[in-house]
Amino acid sequence: MQQSARIEAKTGRLIVGWDTIIIGSGFGGSVTALRLAEANMRVLVLERGPWWGPRLEGDVDAERRAYPRGAGWRSGIRNIVWAKGQKTRRVELDARGLLEFHLHPKLFGWTASGVGGGSLIYTDILMRPPKDFWKALPAEMSEEELAPYFDKFVEMMRPAPLPESKRREDARPRQMLEASEKTGEEPFFPPLSIQFDDVPEGNAAGVHQPPCIHCGECFVGCPTGAKTTLDRTYLPAAIKAGADIWEMCEVEAIASHDHGYSVHYRDRRTGQRQVEQAPRVVMAAGTFNTLALLNDAHHRHRSVEVPPALGRQFSPNGDMMAAGWRSGPQDGPPGPNYPALLTTGTENGGPLIVWGEVGSPAAFFGDGPLREWLRSTYLYFAIGQDRMHASVRTGPDGIQVQASRLHRAPYYGRSERLMHRLMEGYELDRQVENLPGGRGSAHLTSVHPMGGASIGRGPDEGVVDHRGEVFGNPGLYVADGSLYPTEPGVPPSLTIAAMAERQAELMVSRTREELPAERVAIAMPQTRPSAIDRPRAEITVRPTDLRLLTPGALERTWQSAPPAEVPQVQGRLPGSVVHLRGVDPLPLAPRKLLDRLVGALSLWRGKHIVGARGHNHFGLGGAQVRFGQFEVRAGRAWQEANRQDAKQVLVLDYDQPENPAWLRRLRGELCRLEPDLFLGRVGWRGDGGVHFLMYFGLAAPTKRRRASARPKRASEIRPLTR
């Protein structure tokens, strides 16, 4: 995990920093990461959880954690957010856990933690919202305007309904069909993001997903990789396009400053707190966590001015949950979760959708009586447009959702009756509607919290505009379920992703000149200065920062950089080994580790040049040793020495009589990246020509460096602004 570096195309300058930082890697974050990276932006994704599931052919080179199963089920719970009192508290159980529970006065919710976000535990269902949904959105966001972006996401995920051959073979769809026949309902089979067939060429990102084995364990993370999640599609493609994804990095605060935003996070593997900066930040941490970060930035840290509409227009998306039990064995494999849905009429302009499944909780536990009992458990979910428009309490003590069934009692009553009718068709021994409170209870359960940072036409109506940009904060965006001004009433993953596709396209097309010259003033009490940001000192880029470039980027940097000149390199130049050519075939992680290790262990400290002569200096304990004399002169790069248009470089020629015979076969070359930074390479003259050995970096001569400059820290890197 390292700070990003690249070469600016127009000037050839080394840029250390990010164009965009994305908080979260769910449906909004992953889509945004890919599209911005494809536009040649330097993108950093900060994800608080680990990579999950088995590693597949063509997958990302990353350490993955097995989904919680059996005896390790307790590690599946990350933390519990307790928001029932005056102050919101967070109880952490396992920083690497998969599930996060949110307890509010009348609402119980849960979300996922990991690379891929909510896609790790989503229902696999990709459905478009009903036409009535679009009435609450600004005119710029019509159904026709968004249609191509829905298509774009579907093309990437390639969903398909459960094959007809499995609809009577698998237990879940068969029992849904049997139950609906008894109640006179007609189920339908929605498109599911599951790989049902073996595709040798892999999915849209080139990852080879095995076909579904119909084990029924989709809900708590697919154990085989057949479920099409974002860590198998958008995120691998984003990495190939140049994005960086730092897992186990939990964002704790954001702050605005003159050049954009700083993002303060904690590396959960080391416990260290760090800061990264960028002119753009995209909040995609999921509804609960995005609202918490915006609330803290406004009320606790006074670091970002958030519009007064924060916390309004919240909805649990009409979610309701029920459970039932029936004794006796289940015939056949369970099949995927939620393969068939049941709809009835319309509710507030959209369908009321119900589905049921069997045995899903059993996947969490190992063999034994508990698992066998859970195999007989049936879970039922309802979803629809509840039109709740509840609120989220904001303030320095945290957020608290003020939502309950009482806000929309008629809707939830009809939902409960539909679920009851469907459950009767299953002929259960026992059933409980409206978990966890029970039938008629004011308590609700939601796995699709929506709104709170909603889209509006101005800061009094919403938190963000139709582009997802926070009013009064150019460059600060929201790209998750929290920006909905109303609930879609269907599983929201497709809608979140489609909106993110559009937002990313608008971000790419919007140039720096189009940004407002001044931030829009939003009234906010300034009782104390921000506790987050501090003024930054002047920064100096060091030769070691060049290790952040990949071998390909180093080569492109070398080819585009102008030659160094003799007057520029007079004096003592501190240096560091940047990259060894011999490690190129290795995977990225061990390659960078070896580069850093060699750089740290190397005794070479740099060069000293006077006139047209120079030598290397080495450090051994407190002693300084001079070794390796060379002549400095202008020349052409050795790989192209016979070409008339060969690249011009500053040659460091070791073919000097005072050097040993083996050293006389070395040749160095030097180019200039910045006034105080040089990139060099060393080659060995052998029988087959000159063989490239390594890259090295040199800083400006010590006597010419500014006295006020000091080495930079990751938290102080000035980002590129566009």
Q: Which pLDDT score is estimated for 144?
A: 96
Question: Which parts of the chain register pLDDT below 50?
Answer: 2, 8-12, 511-531, 533-540, 703-722
Domain membership flag for residue 21: no
- Tell me how far CA of residue 59 lies from CA of 31, 53, 156, 207, 241, in angstroms: 18, 11, 16, 5, 14
Q: Could you give the CA distance from residue 422 to residue 154 in angstroms, rounded to a whole number?
A: 30
Amino acid at 166: K
Structure-token match 């760090």, residue found: 274
Domain membership flag for residue 275: no
**Do residues 566 and 432 both lie within one domain?**
no
Q: Which pLDDT score is estimated for 718?
A: 35
**Do residues 431 and 545 both lie within one domain?**
no
Shortest CA distance to 12 belongs to which of 542, 558, 701, 549? 558
Q: Could you give the CA distance from residue 121 to residue 98 in angstroms, rounded to a whole number?
A: 9
Whether the CB-CB separation of 683 and 638 falls below 8 Å is answered with yes
Give the tens place of pLDDT for each residue, 497-540.
999 999 999 999 884 444 443 333 333 333 334 445 433 333 34
Phi and psi at residue 211, in whole multiples of 5°?
Answer: -70, 155
Tokens of 681: 């390479």
Number of H helices and E strands in the chain, helices first, is: 10, 34
Whether the CB-CB separation of 370 and 300 falls below 8 Å is answered with no
Total structural domains in the chain? 2
**Do residues 428 and 556 both lie within one domain?**
no
Domain membership flag for residue 184: yes
Domain boundary (393, 420, 437) is at: 437
CATH at residue 684: 2.40.128
Q: Could you give the CA distance from residue 243 to residue 721 in angstroms, rounded to a whole number?
A: 17
b or e along 510-540 (b: 16 or more beta carbons within 10 Å of the residue's beta carbon)?
eeeeeeeeeeeebeeeeeeebebbeebeebb
Domain membership flag for residue 594: yes
* Residue-range definition of the domain harbouring residue 635: 539-705
**477: which strand partners?**
282, 469
**Do residues 549 and 429 both lie within one domain?**
no
Give the tens place of pLDDT for each residue, 444-458.
999 999 999 999 999
Full-model pTM: 0.74
**Do residues 686 and 569 both lie within one domain?**
yes
Domain membership flag for residue 40: no
**Residues in the chain, how many?**
722
Q: Which pLDDT score is estimated for 711?
A: 36
Shortest CA distance to 256 belongs to which of 426, 63, 476, 483? 476
The SS3 of residue 703 is helix
Decide: residue 326, CB within 10 A, 0-12 exposed, 13-18 middle, 19+ buried.
middle
Q: Which pLDDT score is estimated for 522?
A: 38
What's 512's DSSP letter? G
Q: Could you give the CA distance from residue 217 to residue 73 in angstroms, rounded to a whole number?
A: 13
Domain membership flag for residue 117: no
**445: which strand partners?**
108
**Can you point out the beta strands (E) in 268-402?**
273-278, 280-283, 320-325, 342-347, 350-358, 377-383, 391-393, 400-402
Q: Which residues contact 444 (CB under 8 A, 6 or more apart)?
A: 106, 107, 108, 316, 319, 320, 403, 404, 405, 412, 434, 437
Shortest CA distance to 474 belongs to which of 524, 449, 510, 523? 510
Rg (C-alpha) for the chain, rounded Å, is 29
Domain membership flag for residue 713: no
- Tell me how far CA of residue 187 lies from CA of 171, 176, 342, in angstroms: 15, 8, 5
The SS3 of residue 553 is helix
Domain membership flag for residue 664: yes
Q: Which pLDDT score is estimated for 285?
A: 98
Q: Any alpha helices (H) in 325-382, and if so which ranges? A: 369-375
Decide: residue 37, CB within 10 A, 0-12 exposed, 13-18 middle, 19+ buried.
buried
**Do residues 546 and 660 both lie within one domain?**
yes
Q: Could you give the CA distance from residue 525 to residue 537 in angstroms, rounded to a whole number?
A: 28
